[in-house]
A and B are shown apart, each in its own frame.
Chain A
């Protein structure tokens, strides 16, 4: 701790520099405040209060000091109502950290330090200097570091904070401070900061304190920057992010930011930089707002150094991006990347693992804080901000054409506590973006939480979920077909987990089986709801074409529990779509057979699949065309006596194309058109050869393309009618 002891006024490169500027800014702010005061008739109490705190002598007692009490109450009131201006933050932080009036006011002041716009970095650096003096109690030190973490996003520039990385690092030895300091260091670390002695220190702590997640996080970041220095292996990924330690400020800050967002900017008395304020709406702490893309390095002197870096914020055009691709410095807050399309282009082509590590960390942290560990019981959930944030996230994922692993991890946790309605469209959309899940994990990660939600929710949720899972299947298959083209056999779908082709097929099979189960039971519970049936047929539209469209040698038959409800549906659309699906199955199976013959390679489509398909096909043709239903050996078998007892005349023809409930009205309409003079409708007359042909033509003109394809490919129409 020897190096940490720098009194604020000694000449030490960065800290003095910043402290003098901070002093200057304080005095300037007061001058301006006084000027402003002249303009306003009544003296603004906050100005007086700040003046008091900047001038108050050391050793002034605080107990029974009415002046102090009044001023502090004024500051607190302003802080909690609209937040403190940057200058006020400087004054109050200086007052608190210097312990001019002891520890009690220090804690009180720290708790009300709620910035309205930004926190000047000079003030923070100066406060760290006071921290190094070592007079503060540990609890106060922890409080201060927590405060820095809370307002980290609002600190205007971080280069000076980087400059005192070493001083901050020395605090890791303090056991109580260590978790918070590690978090702060994680946010500040750059490649230059990773040194052997620091790695050694962390490893020493690691062996002393055990596997603490905060140490592991920092070490994993070090490893990304300098793999040769950190030999520790992180085989099982680290459990959780840094703890949720926003302390007492977060709620108050959110409230202030909500309020100031609607206020006219001039309402803040001491704020001077209108430019900053214009951006202040976006500079909110709430994780849901994307931070503005700002550079870590603000001063230009850095560029004269040997390592040239170009902050991403200074890049204006695509050409510039290309020219400086190797010099790009990532912004302080990775979240800001989501807001800029140029940054996304950069992220797309950059090979640097640290960029992805950092953005994943940021996303995981934000999502967990906002949706899984809510401070207020989730009252403001589902707000516009949350919706916008998630939509931005989705558009980013679409742009990069890959999902973030932290989003995936968040989603699995969220599904376990989801009520099924909160942010439903967004969550379902995120769900359909989930990358390939190993087949052994599908039941645990997806089936268990989703099944319960599915079976206990209304039919609209059921439809939404089936649609989302359909989207997921399409995405998986598309990835597969793209990667399979690039690279022969093995499909490397995800950098973190190599999925072999057989593993991928198992996953797809498992997903289809899972949706099949949902479909079966869903149709049963909802009494074959036609809307649900339509979404289920959408899904099988994808499934039946897996081989032809996506080149994956996998054919999974539609289950009986979906086939029969669709075939006997009351609406012609379902029957038509089923016919289309069956036709596609036929095309896929014949193509598979053909390929098997040409290449001679054993194809893993079992004989059972063919048998099952033939069975369906025969039943469908018998039912719609040949008027032969309820034959012995069918899935649907009723005893002769029962059928006779039912009194239905010609029960064997009751699902033919003329009598099927879905087509019955078409048959009657056709009958009217054919024989307009006839009074009593006799559908049997349609079944004569000539009329039957006309009737089919008539049906095809009604838009039943699926049915047409099915009939044309499966039935030789030249032969005869039924």
Chain B
């Protein structure tokens, strides 16, 4: 069982690499297609169904600057798989180099508990939780662009900021029950 570590390799000049982990392997393909077109930095996209990554590719794998877990909220399996994969990630990644991206958050048949579970997962790990629209090309492009914004920071390509700083600004917060109640009172 190899554990992925953020600082085990040297970075390449003006390059950033991202690892997209998705159980269903559909949305990650679309995202990767958009992300590799980025011009300002050389983006390397690695795809995985789950972690751990196979050990035999270890030597020619670049340093992974950002790990993105793509979760389809309509599938319980997708969430479970992401949860299982998290165990194979070094602690260093949780200092701003992990983020979650969920799809189908506006689906009618989405159970409320799963949404809460995902939010709890992300906030427990102090990671950002991004929502994405995977059905439309515009939605995919936008999701890819947002990931690139985070990736460039995580790879150190943006001066004056660090991955931990950005992650701190954007990490998911779960409202306490009391706040939730107030919220309902106010806007229902």
Interface residues, chain A, with chain B CB atoms under 8 Å away: 236-240, 244, 371-375, 377-379, 381-382, 408-409, 412-413, 417-422, 441, 444-445, 448, 451-452, 455-458, 521, 524-525, 527
Contacts and interface: CB of A to CB of B under 8 A. Distances in A.
Task: Give the size category of B's interface with A.
Answer: 35 or more
B10 interface: no
A374 B185 contact: no
Contact of A456 (B74, B146, B179, B188): B146
B105 A451 contact: no
Given A238-B188, A441-B186, A378 B133 contact: yes
B132 interface: yes
28 contacts: A236-B184, A239-B184, A239-B188, A240-B188, A373-B108, A374-B106, A374-B108, A375-B109, A377-B107, A378-B106, A379-B135, A382-B138, A408-B187, A417-B105, A417-B106, A419-B133, A441-B182, A441-B186, A444-B175, A444-B179, A444-B182, A451-B169, A452-B128, A452-B129, A452-B130, A456-B166, A458-B146, A521-B169
B142 A375 contact: no
Interface centre among A374, A408, A441, A452 (most CB of B within 10 A): A452
Contacts of A373: 106-108
Nearest to A246: B108
Contact of A419 (B132, B158, B159, B161): B132
Interface centre among A237, A419, A445, A458 (most CB of B within 10 A): A419
B149 A456 contact: yes
Interface centre among A372, A378, A413 (most CB of B within 10 A): A378
Interface in B29-62: none
A381 B108 contact: no
B67 interface: no
Nearest 10 pairs of A and B residues by beta carbon:
A421-B142, A373-B108, A409-B187, A417-B105, A379-B135, A452-B170, A236-B185, A237-B188, A456-B146, A239-B188
Nearest to A420: B142
A455 B170 contact: yes
Nearest to B158: A525
Given A379-B135, A419-B132, A372 B185 contact: no
A422 B146 contact: no
A377 B132 contact: no
Contacts of B108: 244, 373-375
Interface in B144-188: 145-146, 149-150, 153, 158-161, 166, 169-170, 172-173, 175, 179, 182-188
B104 interface: yes
Interface of B: 74, 104-109, 128-133, 135-136, 138-139, 141-143, 145-146, 149-150, 153, 158-161, 166, 169-170, 172-173, 175, 179, 182-188
A69 B133 CA distance: 42
Contact of B161 (A240, A378, A379, A525): A525
Contacts of A382: 136, 138
Contacts of A237: 185, 188
Contacts of A240: 188
Contacts of B131: 417-419
A254 to B, nearest CB: 13
A377 B105 CA distance: 8
Contacts of B130: 419, 452, 456
Given A377-B74, A381-B135, A456-B150, 20 more contacts: A374-B106, A375-B107, A375-B108, A378-B133, A381-B136, A382-B136, A417-B131, A419-B142, A420-B146, A421-B141, A422-B138, A444-B182, A451-B169, A452-B128, A452-B169, A452-B170, A455-B169, A456-B128, A456-B166, A525-B158
Contacts of A236: 184-185, 188
A607 B186 CA distance: 36
Contacts of B143: 419
A239 B109 CA distance: 18
A371 B149 contact: no
A457 B142 CA distance: 8
Contacts of B183: 412, 444-445
Contacts of A455: 166, 169-170
B73 to A, nearest CB: 10
A540 B128 CA distance: 30
A456 B175 contact: no
A240 B112 CA distance: 14
Nearest to A369: B108
A457 B133 contact: no
A422 B109 CA distance: 20
Contacts of A524: 160-161
A119 to B, nearest CB: 24
Contacts of A381: 133, 135-136
Contacts of B188: 236-240, 409
Contacts of A451: 169-170
Contacts of A244: 108
B130 to A, nearest CB: 6
Contacts of A238: 188
Nearest to B153: A525
A268 to B, nearest CB: 30
Contacts of A444: 175, 179, 182-183
Nearest to A459: B149
Nearest to A448: B173
Nearest to A370: B106
A408 B179 CA distance: 18
Nearest to A438: B186
Nearest to B119: A416
Contacts of A413: 187
Nearest to A235: B185
Contact of A372 (B106, B159, B169, B172): B106
A418 B146 CA distance: 13
Contacts of B158: 525, 527
Given A239-B188, A382-B136, A419-B133, A457 B159 contact: no
Interface centre among A413, A421, A445 (most CB of B within 10 A): A421
Interface centre among B141, B159, B185, B186 (most CB of A within 10 A): B186
B139 A422 contact: yes
Contact of A377 (B104, B138, B159, B175): B104
Contacts of B159: 527
A302 B92 CA distance: 76
Contacts of A419: 130-133, 139, 142-143, 146
Contacts of A239: 184, 188
A439 to B, nearest CB: 13
Contacts of B150: 456
Contacts of B105: 417
A114 B96 CA distance: 52
A421 B187 contact: no
B136 to A, nearest CB: 6
Given A372-B106, A444-B175, A456-B146, A421 B139 contact: yes
Nearest to A412: B187
